[in-house]
Amino acid sequence: MSKRKQLICHYCKELFDRETLIQVTKTKRACSKCNDTIVREKNEYKELIDYLCKGLNIKAPSGFMLKSIEKVKALGYSYKDIQWTVYYMACIRKMFLKDGCVNLVPSFYQEMCEYRRIYINAMNNKVEECKETIVVKHTETRAPKIENTRLI
């Protein structure tokens, strides 16, 4: 009897039948679960780049910005986390953002999560008033350049 040839998924390192793996690149194959994750991350990355370019009014991100994104990603933040935090800094905190705004994500991420939790709680409980408040110190009073797109 001939055995079916099994190949390894390059991302989760598990064995799968050759027919079930999806060719991601010329040399790498992924299972359907890993492929879904890869596709989702690619889409989130494109959305983040588009959002930053639109918000900073630039055509393409600089090398410094791309390097900053990868540094923050290596710290464990997803691309969506980065995008939500930049939105929070620009539209809620009214900060004037520049090229290095992505480097500020670790500093403002917890504050953004707390704000988002309170916001969602308030939206879910419209009848009850949300008694929790967040004290925000404004350092600059310039209006943000990022359009008011709804991320929350």
- The C-alpha atoms of residue 70 and residue 13 are separated, in whole angstroms, by 24
Does residue 72 carry a pLDDT above 90? Answer: yes
Q: What is the pTM of this model?
A: 0.71
Decide: 81 and 46 in contact? Cβ < 8 Å: no
- List Cα–Cα distances, 126 to 28, 76, 116, 123, in angstroms: 49, 34, 15, 6
Q: Which pLDDT score, from 0 to 100, does residue 20 have?
A: 87
Does residue 136 carry a pLDDT above 80? Answer: no
Mean predicted lDDT score pLDDT of the chain: 82
Q: Which pLDDT score, from 0 to 100, does residue 1 have?
A: 42
- List Cα–Cα distances, 12 to 23, 43, 128, in angstroms: 14, 20, 46
